[in-house]
């Protein structure tokens, strides 16, 4: 019940933010739309026993924002200069975590970063297939993804995954 209420509050907040106008009508509209979504698509458990560690999650977010800034600058430079420095490739990066939720989080964070895209996630433990625009070498991409995985494990992993599967 608590999860459904939190979901409804979140959806209503997003609805109001998307409309850009805080009003009673928008809040009621958000509640109505959120309620209909919860009735038609009830939340289901992901079968995950992940734990949120707020300080580690903040570290992950700050690291991710820094990576976004750096990647955006690189892609912007590529666009505004006439020289083509693209070295595209698809790199397979095996993850050490078994968690589908963490694999999805890592894959989505990679896809949100300019110049990279997660094409597919296969297997158990998952292997991410990442398309990159600026490949120097495969190890560079693997180290970058493993660093992101390590931070995600610290932020959301169970005690076992956080201690046993960290990359440094």
State what percent of residues in the chain have pLDDT above 90. Answer: 37
Asked if residue 167 has pLDDT above 80, the reply is no
Using one digit for the tens of pLDDT, what is the confidence trace for 10-19? 889 989 998 8
pLDDT for res 168: 45
Q: Given a cut of 70, is residue 108 above it in pLDDT? A: yes
User: What pLDDT was estimated at residue 140?
Assistant: 86
**pLDDT over 70, % of the chain:** 89
**DSSP track, 44-92:** ----------HHHHHHHHHHHHHHHHHHHHHHHHHHHSSS---B-EEEE
- Token pair 């919860």: residue: 38
The answer on pLDDT for 93 being more than 70 is yes
The arithmetic mean of pLDDT across residues 143-159, rounded, is 87
> How many CB atoms sit inside 10 A of residue 122's CB?
9
What average pLDDT score do residues 84-94 get?
Answer: 86
Q: What is the pLDDT of residue 162?
A: 44
Question: What's the DSSP call for residue 95?
Answer: -
* 134-148 confidence digits (pLDDT tens): 888 878 888 999 999
User: Is residue 161 scored above 50 in pLDDT?
Assistant: no
8 Å CB contact between 152 and 60: yes
* Residue 107, Cβ density class (10 Å: 0-12 exposed, 13-18 middle, ≥19 buried): buried
| Banded model confidence at residue 101, pLDDT cuts 50, 70, 90 | confident
Tokens of 1: 């019940």
SS3 127: strand
What would the two tokens of residue 99 be? 């968690």
- Alpha carbons within 13 angstroms on the beta-carbon side of residue 129 total 6
């Amino acid at each position: 019940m608590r999860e459904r209420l939190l979901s409804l509050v979140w959806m209503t907040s997003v609805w109001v933010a998307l409309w850009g106008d805080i009003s009673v009508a928008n809040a009621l509209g958000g509640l109505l739309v959120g309620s209909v979504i919860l009735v038609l698509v009830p939340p289901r458990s992901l079968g995950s026993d992940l734990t949120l560690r707020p300080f580690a999650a903040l570290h992950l977010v700050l690291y991710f924002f820094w990576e976004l800034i750096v990647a955006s600058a690189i892609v912007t430079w590529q666009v505004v200069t006439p020289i083509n420095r693209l070295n595209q490739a698809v790199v397979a990066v095996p993850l050490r975590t078994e968690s589908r939720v963490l694999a999805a989080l890592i894959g989505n964070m990679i896809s949100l970063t300019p110049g990279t895209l997660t094409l597919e996630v296969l297997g158990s433990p998952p292997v991410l297939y990442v398309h990159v625009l600026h490949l120097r070498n495969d190890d560079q991409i693997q180290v970058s993804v493993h660093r992101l995985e390590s931070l995600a494990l610290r932020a959301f992993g169970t005690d076992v995954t956080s201690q046993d599967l960290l990359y440094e």
